[in-house]
Chain A
Amino acid sequence: MRRWSWFLAAVVFLGVVVGLSGPAGAQQKIVIYAAQDEKTTNEMTRMFTEETKIGTEVIRVAAAGTLATRIRAEKAAPKADIFMGGSVEFHEPLATEGLVLPYRSPVVAEAKIDPAYVSPQNFWHGFFVNSLVIILNPQRFQREIASAGVAKPKTWDDLLNPVYAKKLTAGNPATCGGAYIFTALQIFRLGGEQQGFDWLKKLDGQILQYTPTCPGTITLVSRGEVAGGITWADDSIEAMLEKQPIDIVFPPDTGAEIGAISIIKGGPNPEGAKKWVDFALGKKAQALKTELGFTYPVRSDVDPPKNVPPLSDIKLGTYDRKFAIDNRERLTKKWEAEIGSKR
Chain B
Amino acid sequence: MSSESLTHLPAPGLPGWRARALLREPVTLVVGLGVGGLLLLFVLWPILEVVTYAPAGDYLRLGENARWIRATTNTFRMVALSTATATLVGFLYALALSRPDFPGRELLRLIAILPLFSPPFTIGFSYLLMFGRFGVISHGLFGLEASILGWGSLWAVQTISNFPFAALAIERALSATPPTLEAAARDLGGGWLAVFRTVTLPLVRPAVAGAALLVAIYVLADFANPLIIGGDFPLLATEAWYRIDGWGDLRGATLLAATLLPPALILFLAERYWVSRRSYVVIAGRGSSLDRPPLPVSLRWGLTLFCGLTAGLILSLYFGVVAGAFTRTWGVDWTPTLTQWGVALTKLDHIRNSLVFAAAAGVGATVLGTVAAYLVDQKAFPGGRLLDALCVLPAAVPGVFFGIGYLLVFNRPGVALAGTGLVMVLAFTFHNLPFSFQIARAGLAQIHRNLADAAADLGAYRFRILWDVHLPLIFPACVSAWTTAFVNSVTNLSIAVFLVSGGNQVATFSILGLIGDNRLEAASAVTTLLLLTTLLVVGAAWWLSRGARVIPGVLGG
- Cα–Cα distance between A239 and B232 once the two chains are bound (Å): 22
Instruction: Select A225's contact among B133, B363, B407, B472, beta carbons within 8 Å.
Output: B133
Asked if A74 and B411 sit within 8 Å, CB to CB, the answer is yes
Contact indicator per residue, chain A 205-247, by CB within 8 Å of chain B (1) or not (0): 0001111110110111011111000000001000100111100
- Cα–Cα distance between A8 and B371 once the two chains are bound (Å): 14
Asked if B134 and A76 sit within 8 Å, CB to CB, the answer is no
- Cα–Cα distance between A59 and B501 once the two chains are bound (Å): 5
Kindly identify, within residues 166 to 220 of chain B, every residue whose CB is under 8 Å from any CB belonging to chain A. none
B106 contacts partner chain A, Cβ-Cβ < 8 Å: no
- Cα–Cα distance between A79 and B502 once the two chains are bound (Å): 10
B244 contacts partner chain A, Cβ-Cβ < 8 Å: yes
Distance from A128 Cβ to chain B, minimum over Cβ atoms (Å): 17
A contact residues around B250 at 8 Å (CB): 69, 72-73
Instruction: Select A212's contact among B232, B356, B502, beta carbons within 8 Å.
Output: B232
A63 contacts partner chain B, Cβ-Cβ < 8 Å: yes
**Size category, A interface:** 35 or more
Interface-forming stretch among A46-54, A174-182, A315-323? A174-182
A77 contacts partner chain B, Cβ-Cβ < 8 Å: yes
Asked if A213 and B412 sit within 8 Å, CB to CB, the answer is no
B132 contacts partner chain A, Cβ-Cβ < 8 Å: yes
Asked if A5 and B467 sit within 8 Å, CB to CB, the answer is yes
Contact indicator per residue, chain A 22-44, by CB within 8 Å of chain B (1) or not (0): 11000000011000011000000
Instruction: Select B503's contact among A18, A22, A235, beta carbons within 8 Å.
Output: A22
Asked if A245 and B422 sit within 8 Å, CB to CB, the answer is no
A90 contacts partner chain B, Cβ-Cβ < 8 Å: yes
B123 contacts partner chain A, Cβ-Cβ < 8 Å: no
Asked if A66 and B501 sit within 8 Å, CB to CB, the answer is no
Asked if B134 and A224 sit within 8 Å, CB to CB, the answer is yes
- Cα–Cα distance between A67 and B234 once the two chains are bound (Å): 22
A172 touching B232 in the complex, CB below 8 Å, given contacts A19-B421, A219-B518, A242-B329: yes
Interface-forming stretch among A157-165, A270-278, A279-287, A332-340? A332-340
Instruction: Select A76's contact among B65, B67, B147, B411, beta carbons within 8 Å.
Output: B411
Instruction: Select B421's contact among A22, A64, A333, beta carbons within 8 Å.
Output: A22
Instruction: Select B150's contact among A172, A209, A215, A216, beta carbons within 8 Å.
Output: A209
- Cα–Cα distance between A113 and B472 once the two chains are bound (Å): 72
Contact indicator per residue, chain B 292-336, by CB within 8 Å of chain A (1) or not (0): 000000000000000000000000000000000000010111000
B contact residues around A59 at 8 Å (CB): 500-502, 505
- Cα–Cα distance between A244 and B329 once the two chains are bound (Å): 7
A15 contacts partner chain B, Cβ-Cβ < 8 Å: yes
Kindly identify, within residues 231 to 275 of chain B, every residue whose CB is under 8 Å from any CB belonging to chain A. 231-232, 234, 238-239, 242, 244-250, 253
Asked if A69 and B329 sit within 8 Å, CB to CB, the answer is no
Asked if B244 and A65 sit within 8 Å, CB to CB, the answer is yes
A37 touching B246 in the complex, CB below 8 Å, given contacts A15-B359, A244-B329, A341-B70: no
- Cα–Cα distance between A243 and B332 once the two chains are bound (Å): 9
State the main secondary structure of chain B at its contact with A: helix
- Cα–Cα distance between A59 and B505 once the two chains are bound (Å): 8
Distance from B145 Cβ to chain A, minimum over Cβ atoms (Å): 7
Kindly identify, within residues 141 to 161 of chain B, every residue whose CB is under 8 Å from any CB belonging to chain A. 145, 147-150
Asked if A73 and B411 sit within 8 Å, CB to CB, the answer is yes
B contact residues around A69 at 8 Å (CB): 244, 248-250, 253
- Cα–Cα distance between A63 and B246 once the two chains are bound (Å): 7
Kindly identify, within residues 37 to 79 of chain B, every residue whose CB is under 8 Å from any CB belonging to chain A. 64-67, 69-70
Asked if A63 and B245 sit within 8 Å, CB to CB, the answer is yes
Asked if B418 and A77 sit within 8 Å, CB to CB, the answer is yes
Asked if A220 and B407 sit within 8 Å, CB to CB, the answer is no
Instruction: Select B132's contact among A8, A57, A213, A225, beta carbons within 8 Å.
Output: A225
Instruction: Select A62's contact among B227, B242, B418, B517, beta carbons within 8 Å.
Output: B517
Asked if A15 and B516 sit within 8 Å, CB to CB, the answer is no
A12 contacts partner chain B, Cβ-Cβ < 8 Å: yes
- Cα–Cα distance between A58 and B500 once the two chains are bound (Å): 11
Asked if A222 and B518 sit within 8 Å, CB to CB, the answer is yes
A61 contacts partner chain B, Cβ-Cβ < 8 Å: yes
- Cα–Cα distance between A216 and B148 once the two chains are bound (Å): 14
A252 contacts partner chain B, Cβ-Cβ < 8 Å: no
Instruction: Select A74's contact among B134, B418, B504, beta carbons within 8 Å.
Output: B418
Asked if A58 and B329 sit within 8 Å, CB to CB, the answer is no
A175 touching B245 in the complex, CB below 8 Å, given contacts A218-B518, A245-B332: yes
Asked if A19 and B360 sit within 8 Å, CB to CB, the answer is yes
Asked if B408 and A176 sit within 8 Å, CB to CB, the answer is no
A contact residues around B408 at 8 Å (CB): 73
19 CB contacts below 8 A, A to B, read A4-B475, A18-B356, A22-B504, A65-B246, A72-B248, A72-B250, A175-B242, A175-B245, A209-B147, A211-B232, A212-B227, A212-B238, A222-B518, A225-B148, A226-B147, A235-B518, A333-B66, A336-B65, A336-B67
Further pairs besides A59-B505, A79-B419: 12, Cβ < 8 Å = A4-B472, A5-B471, A5-B472, A12-B363, A20-B422, A57-B503, A76-B411, A79-B501, A90-B248, A94-B248, A243-B333, A341-B70
